[in-house]
Amino acid sequence: MPLDPAESGQGDVVLRVSQRQPKQDSFTSVAVRSLLKRSPADIGLNFLCIRLNGNNRKRLHAAGHGVGVPKAATIMAVEAYAHATDHRRHVRLYICLIRIILIRVEKSIEAKLNKIVEDTQPQKTMKLLASITLLLQLVVDSQQYELGQTYVYHVRSDTFLNYGSAQLNQNPGRQVGYGLEAKARLTALWRDAQSPLNRIVEIDLHDAHLTVTPADKKDSKERKRHASNLDRASHQPMYALFKDNEIVRVWVANEDDSTYLNVKKGVASMFQYQVTSEIKKSQVDVSGKCKVVIKADGQHIKKTKDECVHPDLEQYEHPHSVRSVKTQTTSQTNYQLRADLSAVQTATASESIRMSVNAWPEAAIEVTAHHLLKLEVVDPANSRVPGLDAADEVDAVRKLEAHLKDRYAQDTIIARPHQLNHAQSLKGSLLDRIALFRDQLTKDKLATLTNTIAFVTLLESFRVSSENEVFDALKSSKNANILPQLLDIAGASQTIPALKGSLRVVNLDGKDTTLSERFLMSLSMASHPSPQFIAELLALADRKFANEKVYATLVASLGSVLRHAIGNDAHMKEAHIARLWLETRLAKCNSRGDDADDCKLVYVRALRNAAQPTSIPVLLNEVKLGSKKVGPAVLKALKEIGPVYFTPELFDTLEHIYFETHSQHESTARALAAEMIFTAGDRRRIERVLAYIHNVGCPELQTLIANKFRELVELDRAPELKRAAANHTVANYDTLAHEGISSTFTRLLSRSQDLNTTYTLNMELGPGGLLKQTTFGVNVQTSSTEQMPLISVNIFAAGLAGVAGGDAANEVNADDEEEATAGIALSMLGVEMRPYVFFRGTGELMGHVWSGTASEYTPALQGNFLLMDHMQLQPLLSGLIVQLQLKGTLSADLGGSVQISLWNRNSHSIVHSAGAGLIQGSARLLSDVATARVEVNVGFESYLDFVTDFDFYEKPYKMCMVMTTPGLSMKYHVRKHEAINGKQHLVRTLRRRSSRADGKSYALTQKNSELCAEMFAERS
């Protein structure tokens, strides 16, 4: 029975309703009422016609009147049909509705529908209706981009780059960037008869031009065509295999221009859409693998995508969130289909990318893009490949590849960059580029912004240089005075050629360890080490070293590198091999006899830098079996791993240390154990620690633990700690008030809208009031849970009671007697380094005192350290690729001096910490025809002086500490650049501003202020 409903002229539809009213809701009333409740825009209908010819015949007519009918309308009709009794008749009428909606039905499908109707049994009606609904989609699919026709589209795209400051009333200035205009031709060469959305298409691009804003125009949205290499670039058609309207394979010409190719990939990606009402899924397009949401309403389709991941392995990021970026992307495409849903009439898309630095959100960059795809004409097929007459996909692909031969190769739809590192296009050798910055890299420029700018600028040049180029640059006599600074850059580059080239210059077995250790420290900051990089370091550490200091620094650096590696790739095999190597070497230290403790400290320090939870059992074993000397180092390693990994066994061990249940422990270890319980223990453990403070012995230790409790309560980082503090049975004056002057506190150093910088001071005195250790640290906080350690300085001393004139036998237990020792331990950006020992034994101490060598300024740490390192690719729908980069460096010069007078029995020491930092964020459009770049630079300079005066001519000893800074200088630069390669078009802008914070002297403790007043009053 043919399906040929009567239609009214001119597309108008008349509603005729029988005078006879049914007793119950009929199909007519249900359908009319359901459809009229919805607006025409919602259901895609302008008119509805229902004719009733008697009681036994019904026909439903619908006309699109220029718009499509959504699936929702047909579903309502199906639901209404369920009330009917003559199933076959109403199924036929439903098919009639489908046919009218689609305007026409292919003969093969119409025949199938008629056969289904004739064979249908009443009990199968509902199942049949569901099947027909699926056929509805099949009919729509069969009409998309018909064979034998070429669809010609106008393509336009505009991309803008600018500074993304969130400050109100701040004009970001002129935007830079460029646009593209072209004609795109889409021709379907083959379509699967069973699955029409499986097809092979040819996409050709021609008449492509670059558009830019004239250099003399301030309005960067007014763009005009400009001559460029794109005008004559070689290009060939691209071929794509679609499956269910998604591109799964692409064939590209071997000699195709990279920009042309990426634009074609962008055009092809625009045709990945669905007419189904709503879909959420992952999809691969020109931008990478993305999460997409598609909502269809007849001719109107909205597609949004986010979380796109580009597969390029050369991308990298810093595993520490504070030292990384926040990237926000949005992408939305609105489609308007032709009336018969057969093709895209227009597609408009808008995209935005915003990158901000987590540690300084004001350093932000924004990229916006707008794209247009508009159908101009449909012509008879005009393809370079004749129609593929194939029975299936395999046969079609075989015939296509036979025609393309070796002129084409398979590729992915994802856009690929022409060139990642802009340094590859720079003229001259590495030596030539270094010469431009030689004056900025001298030793006297350390801890200045001048030095940091040179570091960041040359970093990319080292990354693209070969081993011999790096070696020649480092070995050049012209660079002898700046060799340490060049080694800083070489280590930060993290490439195998730079590593090998540097090791040919650095003598790791030499007597002078300064240069060797400095290079190894630069390696410790590697943010994205490759498996081969770790393997090279492990092979280096596995050989014998004549110099133990160099070896200790190498092993410490290895620990830091594997931490960053696992942070980026938790399953990196080489990193876990290195961790196991460290743990095995630690266990073997027990066979070293008298040197066992020194051996263990080397590997415990490395495991602290690695901070891997899998090392906890090994470290716990060392706490239980190790010596008093090793105990504090092991606890610091456990603390660095983090409280989230603390187990009941670990807490039990901490309590044994604190209460000295099994053996005596060093006071520093007991204080650390108490702190770790305060931070992450449950309320009962915390209360037990508080209740026992009176019994720990030394008043200074009692005071230190009580002050640590108060500090952590004030910081409000441990809920269980607050509950314990509310229990006044244990947290009371009697428990927390002690007579010592040891102290610990955290104070604000500087504050901004998004960032706080704090300083922490821990001062532990031993029995008799002698300084045991003072730790000063500076941390950056972006939230209550996210912080980054900048620097930590730990000055330690032991065995000085006799030198100060005290009676060691009366002031310390026999078990606590130690050799006279003093030194400084440094931690830079969370990486603990080998301690610098001033003297061992009374003989060395007296030698320094009489010769006065300690009174001269002695550098303890100098260098440029990689602070931030990030690179990611964000291809736009146009096919142009945005490269987002973040680089940061910290230049430090830390040293000190001490003057000791045995005659006056006093000392005066200064620790000078000078530093400069630079954060550089940039966005660049990657193309071989033009360049566009925005660069934001934020820099600072300052220094801190930590002065300690100590009088030991009589008891009680007096000590005064003063911390001062001359202030903080901040500078902001925004550079913008736009140019067309080989053409006369250049735009360059530079915006500068600066600010300064006044100098100040920082308050420490009330007791310290009282002692300072007393000491200076006596001297005046």
Give the number of other CB atoms < 10 A from CB of residue 82.
13
Contacting residues for 357 by C-beta, under 8 A, at least 6 apart: 325, 326, 363, 364, 868, 886, 919, 921, 938
Strand partners, 977: 933, 988
Residue 925 DSSP class = E
Orientation of helix 648-659 relative to helix 667-680, angle to 10°: 140
What stretches of 716-796 show up as alpha helix (H) in DSSP? 719-725, 733-736
Residue 491 has phi, psi (to 5 degrees) of -65, -40
pLDDT of residue 60: 36
Q: Which residues of the chain have pLDDT under 70?
A: 1-143, 166-170, 219-221, 420-425, 784-785, 801-817, 849, 852-854, 1019-1020
Q: Residues 546-599: pLDDT tens digits?
A: 899 999 999 999 999 999 999 999 999 999 999 999 999 999 998 777 789 999
Residue 438 has phi, psi (to 5 degrees) of -60, -40
One DSSP character per residue, 619-664 reads HHHHHHHS-TTTHHHHHHHHHHH-GGG--HHHHHHHHHHHHTSSS-
Long-range pairs of 445-448 with CB within 8 A, sequence gap ≥ 24: 446/485, 446/862, 446/863, 446/864, 446/891, 446/892, 446/893, 446/914, 447/891, 447/892, 447/893, 447/914, 447/915, 447/916, 447/941, 447/943, 448/891, 448/916, 448/941
Beta strand spans in 174-321 (E)? 179-191, 199-212, 224-226, 238-243, 246-253, 278-285, 288-297, 300-309
Measured CA to CA, the distance from residue 128 to residue 93 in angstroms comes to 13
Measured CA to CA, the distance from residue 158 to residue 370 in angstroms comes to 5
Q: Residues 398-416: pLDDT tens digits?
A: 999 999 999 999 999 999 9
Measured CA to CA, the distance from residue 887 to residue 869 in angstroms comes to 5
Q: Using alpha carbons only, what angle is made at residue 453 by residues 449 and 457, rounded to the nearest 5 degrees?
A: 170
Tokens 């154990």 locate to 673
Residue among 246, 173, 226 nearest 990 (CA)? 173
Q: Could you tell me the end-to-end alpha-carbon distance of the chain, in angstroms, rounded to an integer? A: 118
Contacting residues for 865 by C-beta, under 8 A, at least 6 apart: 488, 492, 521, 522, 525, 828, 829, 889, 890, 891, 892
Contact 752, 687 (CB under 8 A): no
Contact 887, 331 (CB under 8 A): no
| 108 belongs to a structural domain | yes
Contact 178, 210 (CB under 8 A): yes
Contact 159, 880 (CB under 8 A): yes
Residue 246 DSSP class = E
| 56 belongs to a structural domain | yes
| 557 belongs to a structural domain | no
Contacting residues for 210 by C-beta, under 8 A, at least 6 apart: 178, 179, 180, 225, 226, 227, 228, 230, 231, 929, 930, 980
pLDDT of residue 112: 53
Phi-psi sector, 573: left (phi>0), alpha (psi -120 to 50), beta: alpha
Residue among 915, 968, 917 nearest 938 (CA)? 917
Measured CA to CA, the distance from residue 352 to residue 123 in angstroms comes to 54
Look at strands 408-411 and 756-765 and give their pairing: unpaired
What Å distances lie between residue 679 and 102, 682, 747, 832, CA to CA? Answer: 68, 9, 18, 22
pLDDT of residue 903: 79
H or E element, residue 42: helix 40-43
Largest Cα span, the chain: 126
| 71 belongs to a structural domain | yes
Mark 861-887 as b/e (b = at least 16 C-beta within 10 Å). bbbbbbbbbbbbbbbbbbbbbbbbbbb
Measured CA to CA, the distance from residue 610 to residue 578 in angstroms comes to 10
Q: Residues 849-894: pLDDT tens digits?
A: 677 666 788 888 999 999 999 999 999 999 999 999 999 999 999 9
CA 66 to chain centre: 48
Measured CA to CA, the distance from residue 971 to residue 361 in angstroms comes to 15
As for how many domains the chain has, the answer is: 1
State the Rg of the chain over Cα.
37
| 127 belongs to a structural domain | yes
Residue 22 DSSP class = P
Strand partners, 224: 212
Contact 72, 51 (CB under 8 A): no
Contact 200, 241 (CB under 8 A): yes
Residue among 374, 404, 361, 127 nearest 251 (CA)? 404
| 330 belongs to a structural domain | no
Residue 549 has phi, psi (to 5 degrees) of -65, -45
| 753 belongs to a structural domain | no
pLDDT of residue 70: 41
Residue 185 has phi, psi (to 5 degrees) of -115, 125
If DSSP codes are grouped into helix, strand and coil, which group holds residue 504? coil
| 131 belongs to a structural domain | yes
Give the number of other CB atoms < 10 A from CB of residue 223.
20
Residue 34 structural domain = 9-139
For residue 973, what are its two tokens? 């630069």
Cis peptide before 956 (omega within 30 of 0): yes
For the chain, counts of helices (H) and of strands (E):
30, 28
